[in-house]
Copies of this chain bind each other. A is one copy, B any other.
Amino acid sequence: MEQKLNQLKARLARIADLSGARSVLSWDQQVMMPVGGAVARGDQMGTISGLAHEMFVDEEVGALLDELYQEYAGNAYDSDEVSLVRVARRDYEKRVKIPTDLVVEMAKTAAMGRQAWQQARAENNFAIFAPLLEKTVGLQVRLADILGSKSGNPYDALLDRFEPGLTFEYIDGVFSGLKKSLVDLIEQIAANRDRVSDDVLKRDYPEAAQIAISSEMAQALGYDFNRGRLDKSAHPFTSGGIHDARITTRVDDHFLPSCVMAVIHEAGHGMHMQSIDEALYRTGLDTFGLAIAESQSRFFENVIGRSRAFWTYWYPKLQATFPHLSDTPMETFYKAINKSAPSLIRVEADEVTYGLHIMLRFEIENELINQRIKVADLPALWNERMQSYLGVTPPNDTDGVLQDIHWSQGGFGYFPDYLLGSILASQLWDAFKREQPDIEERIACGEFAPLLLWQREAIMKHGNKFTFPEIAERATGQSLSWEPYMNYLRAKFGDVYGLRAKGH
């Protein structure tokens, strides 16, 4: 059986190498590649993806997985070997079902979809995008049907692609309790909106100094520049693996958080990659699902990076870097970076309103994939719900239903992971503080190492050995719950906006 395992590992190692190579090619495409290189890069990435797929769905891989699965049945999957077989078999069973013609059709439609989506946005005309979106939804419905789901809800099959083990029922169970409370908090904040201004963030912040202090923060938090680097790109992202996990940011000379908070967010992802157990290298377990990913990036960005303790340490350094801040007290700055107000655009939303942007998408996706609503009705539906959840109505579809790229790429089932990550981040923070009650004092003194150490043991080192529900329970001793998240938001924003406690 050892021999079979080694055969499997040798195959998975080559597939992991291709995946690592593809991630370098993708990083290069977004950060370094000259414009003329696009077609050739598409060919290279297409060939590498195709080879990786062929090598993975090979019959011999299936036979090895079946044999090993029988052998290991009943063993706890704490062991790397049992996890390896469980995860690889789960992925194999999904991927082997997808016929090549569907893969090709989805890739083609995604390429056309991106173009149509861009044009629709530029011309503020949903009708340009609608036919492609209808086709995309149709393909996703077909994909969901092929993949199947235990519950019978086809949306589950799509949720599972981005974070294995997630279902509509699980997510809805978490979101539905949260929704009312969020709306309530948003109303309280709205009644006191004048108490916080973010004007100070809109001053002159020269790029080089922003990059320098952001890098310093990333390094202080534990991001290892010997196994990574920081560059600029149109949209911030993290790419790579254990030994080379690169992060990017964007810079706005007149809005400080664009760069600083993006770097902290991506450094969270980067440290996550860098902290995966070396023993998982090249096994295919050296990666992670998107909700687990967001629990780390949002932990560092929001829970830590927008905390009073964090800025108690960093604000004097920020003032030294940008001397015009000497007229602004730390409290004013702290409130500014936590300003909350309903807005149209998800990626610009604050911590409180963000959840509703996600819920709206989650609900619409579920209805679309269950074919209960039509693509043609989306703009009106979107605007109605924005008004009902957040009290704002998009003046046009570009700032409404057309704002995100995900659907144009067939990315249905992706959005909820952002919010699930935030929810887990709060629950992790509670568990962490139970173990280390003085952690905020230590952060305020610039002692950041305990954060990474704790997250590494709780979450990061495991790669994708465990599902999101499993890892939430393992790391915090409890099932995922929205309540720690809501308590965190109430306490923080109650303080920032001077709200009266409502006794929750």
Contacts and interface: CB of A to CB of B under 8 A. Distances in A.
Interface of A: 13-14, 17-18, 20-21, 24-25, 28, 32-41, 43-44, 46-48, 50-51, 224-229, 240-244, 246, 281-282
Contacts of A50: 14
11 contacts: A18-B44, A18-B47, A24-B44, A33-B244, A34-B225, A34-B226, A34-B244, A35-B226, A36-B224, A36-B227, A36-B243
A68 B408 CA distance: 43
Nearest to A38: B243
A285 to B, nearest CB: 15
A47 B19 CA distance: 11
Interface of A is mostly: helix
Contacts of A32: 32, 229
Contact of A229 (B25, B34, B246): B34
Given A13-B47, A32-B229, 16 more contacts: A14-B50, A17-B47, A18-B48, A24-B24, A24-B28, A32-B32, A33-B244, A34-B225, A34-B227, A34-B246, A36-B224, A36-B226, A40-B242, A40-B281, A41-B244, A43-B282
Contacts of A40: 20, 241-244, 281
A111 to B, nearest CB: 17
A279 B498 CA distance: 69
Contacts of A242: 40
Given A24-B24, A25-B24, A39-B243, A228 B34 contact: yes
A32 B228 CA distance: 10
A48 to B, nearest CB: 6
Copies in the complex: 2
B24 A43 contact: no
A46 B40 CA distance: 21
A141 B35 CA distance: 45
Contacts of A17: 43-44, 46-48
B34 A25 contact: no
A379 B225 CA distance: 42
Contact of A20 (B34, B38, B43, B227): B43
Contacts of A224: 36
Nearest to A274: B36
**Most B CB within 10 A of own CB, among A17, A224, A228, A241:** A17
The 6 tightest CB contacts between A and B, nearest first, are A37-B244, A36-B227, A17-B47, A40-B243, A21-B44, A36-B226
A44 to B, nearest CB: 4
A103 to B, nearest CB: 16
A190 to B, nearest CB: 46
A50 B46 CA distance: 18
Nearest to A42: B17
A22 to B, nearest CB: 8
Given A21-B25, A24-B24, A32-B32, A227 B37 contact: yes
